A and B are shown apart, each in its own frame.
Chain A
Amino acid sequence: MESKSSTTGNRDNPNRNLHGSKTMMASHFLRALFRIQQTSTSSSSAGRSRRIRRAAYASMAYSAGTRRAWSRALLRKLRSRARLRFPRRLSRAATPQRRDMDQAQVLRKLVPGGPSMDDCKLLEETADYIRFLTTQVRLMQTVMDSVSS
């Protein structure tokens, strides 16, 4: 993985940082797909879908490495074999005055490692997490398009 993250270029152009990670993400995910395809039978289709989902988050986390709190938290979860769950329900803010406080709390539950972040860190990590998530989604869409054509 390209180690541009430690230089000042990181802040100025986050997309440059992402490019090397994209390669790693694609390689990791495709290798995982091969393994899953080879080691699963037609009777385990639900399990296969879960393994693919896990591989998606794994390739995100491995390509981001340990330089980000969200990826470290994801890697911890993956290694401990814990279930990867994210809240799905839309949490309603109780009262208008508390709305923005609640939203930060809601966000903390959606970003891996969120609960231990202060507000500033949360926003930085969120931006990075979204970049990687979006890239992973696009990767999966590309695979879908390629395989089904």
Chain B
Amino acid sequence: MSSRRSRSRQSSSGRITDQQIDDLMSKLQSLLHEARLGSHDRASAAKVLQDTCSYIRSLHREVDDLSERLSELLDAAGVSSDQAACIRSLFM
């Protein structure tokens, strides 16, 4: 379904949008450029790093949480090969 492939999900369940990722990436990259040029705005660098750490931690938590939920689902029903093919096509 094309709606599932939409690149931008609503953040209602805490899902990160591509825009947020792009913003974070450009911040990280500009930070990298600043470091190479030698100029170093300490305040913003610290903030970007802090946000990055928070984000990575939340992603780790999501992996843990989804692992548990998937485990419960596998217990109840399996993933059939039809569903697997469907998932692959949705995901690409």
CB pair B62–A137 under 8 Å, yes or no, is yes
Q: Would you give 13 A-B contacts (Cβ < 8 Å), ordered by A?
A: A30-B88, A45-B71, A90-B57, A99-B46, A106-B53, A110-B56, A120-B35, A130-B52, A130-B56, A130-B59, A140-B62, A140-B67, A147-B70
Q: Is A73 an interface residue (CB 8 A)?
A: no
Looking at the complex, which one of A45, A130, A145 makes contact with B75 (CB distance below 8 Å)? A45
Interface of B is mostly: helix
How many chain A residues touch the partner (CB < 8 A)? Answer: 55
What is the CB-to-nearest-CB distance from A90 to chain B, in angstroms, rounded to a whole number?
8
Near B by CB (< 8 A), chain A positions 93-149 give 99-100, 103-104, 106-107, 110-111, 119-120, 123-124, 126-127, 129-131, 133-134, 136-148
Is B75 touching A103 in the complex (CB atoms < 8 A)?
no
For window 34-59 of A, CB contacts with B under 8 Å fall at 34, 36-37, 40, 42, 45, 48-50, 52-53, 56-57
Interface of A is mostly: helix
Cβ B87 vs Cβ A143 within 8 A: yes
Contact, CB under 8 Å: A141 / B15: yes
Q: How large is the interface on B (under 10, 10 to 19, 20 to 34, 35 or more residues)?
A: 35 or more
Return B64 CB to nearest CB of chain A, in Å.
6
Task: Report Cα–Cα, A30/B90, bound state, in Å.
Answer: 13
- Distance of A79 from chain B, by nearest CB (Å): 19
Q: Is the CB of A26 within 8 A of B67?
A: no
Residues of B within 8 A of A37 (CB): 74, 78-79
Partner of B57, one of A23, A34, A88, A144: A88
